[in-house]
Chains A and B, each alone.
Chain A
Amino acid sequence: MSHELEQLRDAALSEIGGAGDEQTLEAARVRYLGRAGSISAWADRMKSLSKEEKPVVGKLLNEARTSVTAAIAEAADRLRAAKEARELADIDISLPGTAAELGSLHPLTQMLDRAISIFRRMGFALAEGPDVETEWHCFDALNTAPDHPARNEQDTFYLPDGRLLRTHTSTVQIRTMEKAPPPIRVIAPGAAYRRDEVDATHSAQFHQIEGLYVDEKVSIGDLKGTLEFFLHELFGAETQVRFRPHYFPFTEPSFEIDVKSKALKGGEKWLEMCGCGMVHPAVFEQVNSARGDTAYDPKKWSGFAFGLGMDRLAMILFGIPDLRYFAANDLRFLRQFA
């Protein structure tokens, strides 16, 4: 027949195995392994045992302690896992997740950032110039005749001191060339103003990215390569791009660029995107006279310039039907671009 300790151990293991909650388990631990527990009590009894019995009982006692302790740990893990499972079983996982107020960037900012990042990959640096400009920077330097209709008070906002709000970002071409000799490779994002009544496609203030590249032997092929690459990056490689000759006073030859793509809103027809052209030699001559040197000798340097309407690009790219959304800043609109 087995030793009393073995019987005690088996009873403990069975009780622990059957414990259904943490209190019952703790009670079992105290009863067997606590200071006054029935297994612990054998440690005291060891002193009164004979030399022959001591090693045998000692071994049994160790075994009993070890196996009961392990069983308690195992049972504790089992009970905790069951408790956790019980607790989580009732959770309604369909409750809404914890909310955070997300901020957002204005869609025009996002449009500008996209365009700028493409041009930066192509090696363009940024440039800037003031919104309030002199008539010379806005018109004379850009080869626009003194009686050109664009200078009229009906089309251009003037300040009392005779300065004006630039009607295009092309002024930055002049500002940039005044400051630095060629080669030049810049883009200039910025606001421009026209004296237009506000409607779905017109606003008094609009946004452009101006581009200017002046170097030796810059050609129409370079202009085409640059803007085709940009438009393909922006709208996708499958987009068709078409150059059409046009007229601007400050470029010659001048072009307008159209794109066509089924992926764009209204893009089943050609959409006008951009005005561009080769910098007019008269513009270089004006810059030279302002600089007082011949840094921009039209015989040595050539270049191209372009102007992209950011409001229109954003409308096409994001499917926005009315320009007035941009200035209204309705949060229900802005949050769509978070």
Chain B
Amino acid sequence: MKFSVNWLREFVELPSGVDELAELLTLAGIEIEGIEKRGANFDNVVVAQINSSVQHPNADRLSVCQVDDGSGQPRQIVCGAKNYKVGDKVPLALPGAVLVNDLKIKPSKLRGVESQGMLCSPSELGLSEDGDGLLILSPEAQIGQPIGSLFPEDTVLDVEITPNRGDLLSHFGLAREIAALTGAATPSSRTVTRNDADQPARGRAGSIKISAPNECPFYSARRIENIKVGPSPDWLRAKLEAVGLRSINNIVDISNFVMLELGQPTHAFDADKLKGEIVVRRAREGEKFLALDGKTYTLTSRDLVIADQERVVGIGGVMGGEETGVTASTRNVLLEAAYFLPSSIRRTSRTLNLPSDASYRFERRVDPAMILPASQRATELIGELAAGNPAAEIATAGALPEPPPDVSLRYERCDELIGVPVPKERVVQILEGFGLKKARVTDDETSWRIPSFRSDLQREADLIEEVVRVFGIENVPVRYRSRFTPESEADRGHDLESELRARLAGRGLAEVRTSKLISRKAAEFEEGAIELRNPLNEDHVALRRSFYPSLLDVWVRNVLGGTHRVAIFEVGRVFIPPEGREERYLGILLWGNSGPSAHWRSKNRILDYFDLKGVIESVIPSASFRRVERPGLILAVEIWRGAERIGFAGQVASERTKPIDSTHPVLFAELNLASFAHLEGGLIFRGIEKFPAITRDIAMIVPENLSHEKIFTTIASANEPLLAKVELFDVFSGSEGNFGVGKKSLAYTLTYRDKTRTLTNDEIAVVHAKIRERLQRELGVELRE
């Protein structure tokens, strides 16, 4: 909400500078979002009246005006604006005036005609952006009066009020808060209404009926007759415009003014258009209503309405109706001031998508004690500014909400929670400053009566917060306190993830983090993925159940960005349908060059299945792989760890990689990390071999379909105690060698070792021969020399 500093000053003594005020409020939790200087305090700019206007003899677009500046001498001004009529009062800059942008005014000749000054637009006076025409002042403005008295210098604060502090949504309310923070004299609502004697008698309840007392516990209406609807006086317009409201007419402006001043919204109906008594009720299902904004709303039985005997005339606390609004021809008004249930207003305003200044305040709860004073204030102003003649009585129905219950404060608890002792007298002084009154007092504890405007103060902690706000959190000393904390399951999970990430980054992969919300398009490939009930757009419609669509998407965007290598992984949660069980997965995608795109020493390969497998083995050395069929993959394997299937890997079918049309394979793997307590490769010392090893190679020609795994297990099944290691070091397929199509050549290095002695060539020759013989016998391989 925007606040005028001048307006605040009417109620409370302010700190000397605006910056001090802003600092005071900010540190008390009332955030200042903007500070704007306003006003038109210029020397030599006065109110003038245009007495005549004729066409400039030499310029189509200019006029020559004779104006009265109060000096007794008529003054001739050449003017380019068209929005005035003779008799209007406008600002006149006399020679010697210096306006916005350092515009210096002096007598001059415009196309041969003398001009002794300049008539001003709002923008030339820095009052608004509006530079289209002259600023037309109200008829009451005094000719010759300095313009600064109509538009005094002011500062406007844009203040963020938190939702619990509806009591600050008015100049009076913020002034009251400032007084509590600085210790200045507290303003009283009596300073705005004239005196108690003028308060009307309450009565004529028969003219209002409340049939929804929960949503509207209290309603008042005052009839004011013989009003003259017209423009507002300059002071009123200036006040509204300073805080960002547009002037409409005197009646609407008064209602807005009182709301900004006291925080209580009021509404003026054209009394002659109301049919019979006012009924406050719930809307009928499907009931239609034409609001002041010109739109028709369809209501439900959850919406509270103000109705007459024939139709809805207002959505309670939100907006009045077009048909019963005040117009230029309105003669009599009915002025509403009421209390509406915050939650009801909030619901209606939200469902109709119809926020208003009034609903904003009712949602945050208005001060019940301010309803009738606000009505009185508006009535008085209508009497003054629109010649209205108020009824002696104000019609009321229902009862004002109960005052907030008392709240107890234990002084010891206050000190404990703040962390530093605050003297009892200081606590009392602070709370009394906020308008609280002692209800019951013991040595350790005081029960406090809460003022009607502070229903947010419901508990001891709320009172302690008020103490801290004034005492100043900067006066609370910091304390360092620790406690030994055992490792949690989440700690272990985090550390596992960290180690996994470090290993994969060490293998040259880049970590990505994609959104857990996937697009409509991606969701089409993710059968069963849980969809949101209320997605905001097509990019975020479902919860990912796999990294597959997200990593493919990252791949596409990076290839389009010109990269030649994509080696990425992601670790994080996926959501398993149907109930959305959250599991930690690892996704890997490889594509393109094995190394940097161009380097004088690198021989670049294209990444393939074995690169992917190598990455997986670097994380899970014991992983085994089984070939399977899987939709979307042209080469698919399952990844097993012991007896548990933990994921899959493979080469993505080209139908899924169409956006890029790459000839290089796209490799993808996904693993469920749920069963991982820690990575393999324990932290246990295994000893360093002391005695030298002997190595022997075996090369063999085998059919293409004989797998490495089969050969490896055949060698291993010899259970030869001296055999320490078997390594495949060469693979040749038949088309590359000279041993015929349909065959391949494999070559292995076998390492022999004994922990306790140096082996001799002779004993190894025996063992090695046995293994060769075994391969020949069991697999029929053709051994090469």
Chain A interface residues toward B at CB < 8 A: 95-96, 98-106, 108-109, 113, 116, 122-128, 130-132, 145-147, 149, 152-154, 157-160, 163, 165, 183, 185-186, 188-189, 191, 193, 195-198, 203-205, 215, 217-222, 224-226, 228-229, 242-247, 252-255, 278, 280-282, 302, 326-332, 334-335, 338
Contacts and interface: CB of A to CB of B under 8 A. Distances in A.
9 contacts: A113-B498, A125-B485, A126-B494, A127-B488, A131-B573, A219-B418, A253-B465, A278-B461, A282-B459
B468 A253 contact: yes
Interface in B541-555: 543, 554
Interface string B698-732: 00000000000000000000000000000000000
Contact of A335 (B28, B484, B510): B510
Contact of A245 (B465, B493, B513): B465
A159 B478 contact: no
B629 interface: no
B464 interface: yes
Given A220-B419, A245-B469, A185 B533 contact: no
B479 A205 contact: no
A183 B511 CA distance: 36
A219 B485 contact: no
B536 interface: yes
A159 B478 CA distance: 43
Closest 9 pairs (CB-CB, A-B) = A221-B419, A245-B29, A219-B419, A103-B505, A253-B465, A247-B162, A101-B508, A225-B478, A126-B490
B536 A123 contact: no
B535 interface: yes
Given A100-B508, A221-B476, A253 B488 contact: no
Given A132-B582, A219-B479, A221-B478, A329 B513 contact: yes
B494 A116 contact: yes
B600 to A, nearest CB: 6
A108 to B, nearest CB: 6
Given A99-B599, A252-B462, A105 B476 contact: no
Interface stretch (B212-220, B423-431, B562-570, B657-665): B562-570
Name the residue among A122, A126, A281 with the largest chain B CB count within 10 angstroms.
A126
B709 to A, nearest CB: 29
A205 B419 contact: no
Given A106-B513, A205-B517, A252 B465 contact: yes
Contacts of B484: 123
Given A158-B534, A220-B476, A327-B513, A254 B419 contact: no
B417 A278 contact: yes
Contact of A159 (B417, B533, B599): B533
A126 B485 CA distance: 10
A160 to B, nearest CB: 5
A149 B510 contact: no
Contacts of A105: 501-502, 505, 511
B602 A99 contact: yes
Given A158-B534, A245-B473, A331 B481 contact: no
Interface in B463-495: 464-465, 468-469, 473-474, 476-488, 490-491, 493-494
Interface stretch (B342-350, B674-682, B686-694): B342-350
B416 A302 contact: yes
A197 B537 CA distance: 8
Contact of A109 (B28, B513, B534): B513
B666 interface: no
- In which size bucket is the chain B interface? 35 or more
Interface in B500-527: 501-502, 504-517
Interface of B: 26-29, 31, 162-165, 342-343, 346-347, 350, 416-420, 459-462, 464-465, 468-469, 473-474, 476-488, 490-491, 493-494, 498, 501-502, 504-517, 530-537, 539-540, 543, 554, 557-558, 561, 563, 565-568, 573, 575, 580, 582, 595-596, 599-602
A170 to B, nearest CB: 16
Nearest to B537: A197
A195 B165 CA distance: 25
A225 B580 contact: no
Given A99-B596, A147-B347, A222-B419, A331 B602 contact: no
Contacts of B418: 219-221
Given A102-B508, A104-B510, A160-B531, A246 B162 contact: yes
Nearest to B507: A103
Nearest to A122: B482
Contact of B510 (A183, A196, A217, A334): A334
A96 B31 contact: no
Given A132-B575, A327-B513, A330-B561, A125 B534 contact: no
A159 B481 contact: no
Nearest to B474: A243
A186 B487 CA distance: 11
Given A219-B479, A281-B459, A246 B29 contact: yes
Given A225-B478, A329-B568, A204 B419 contact: no
A136 to B, nearest CB: 17
Name the residue among A127, A219, A282 with the largest chain B CB count within 10 angstroms.
A219
Contacts of A222: 419, 479, 481
A284 B465 CA distance: 18
B28 A245 contact: yes
A252 B535 CA distance: 33
A153 B534 contact: yes
A119 to B, nearest CB: 10
B488 to A, nearest CB: 4
A334 B575 CA distance: 26
A125 B461 contact: no
A95 B506 CA distance: 25
A288 to B, nearest CB: 16
A205 B462 contact: no
Given A99-B595, A221-B418, A302-B417, A106 B512 contact: yes
A132 B580 contact: yes
A159 B517 CA distance: 12
A244 B343 contact: no
Contacts of B566: 331
Contact of B514 (A104, A252, A329, A331): A329
Contact of B532 (A106, A159, A244, A302): A159
B468 A220 contact: yes
Nearest to B164: A247
A131 B584 CA distance: 12
A182 B343 CA distance: 35
A219 B29 contact: no
Nearest to B533: A158
A332 B535 CA distance: 31
Nearest to A130: B582
Contact of B478 (A106, A228, A327, A332): A228
Given A126-B488, A149-B350, A253-B464, A225 B480 contact: yes
A220 B485 contact: no
B87 to A, nearest CB: 50
Contact of B488 (A186, A189, A247, A331): A186
A165 B486 CA distance: 30
Nearest to A107: B513
Nearest to B602: A99
B493 A255 contact: no
B534 A245 contact: no
Contact of B596 (A101, A253, A281): A101
Nearest to B470: A245
Contacts of A153: 533-534
A128 B599 CA distance: 45
A156 to B, nearest CB: 8
Given A224-B479, A331-B568, 4 more contacts: A128-B493, A131-B516, A243-B474, A329-B557
Given A145-B343, A220-B468, A243-B473, A327 B573 contact: no
Contacts of B469: 245, 253
A96 B563 contact: no
A334 B508 CA distance: 12
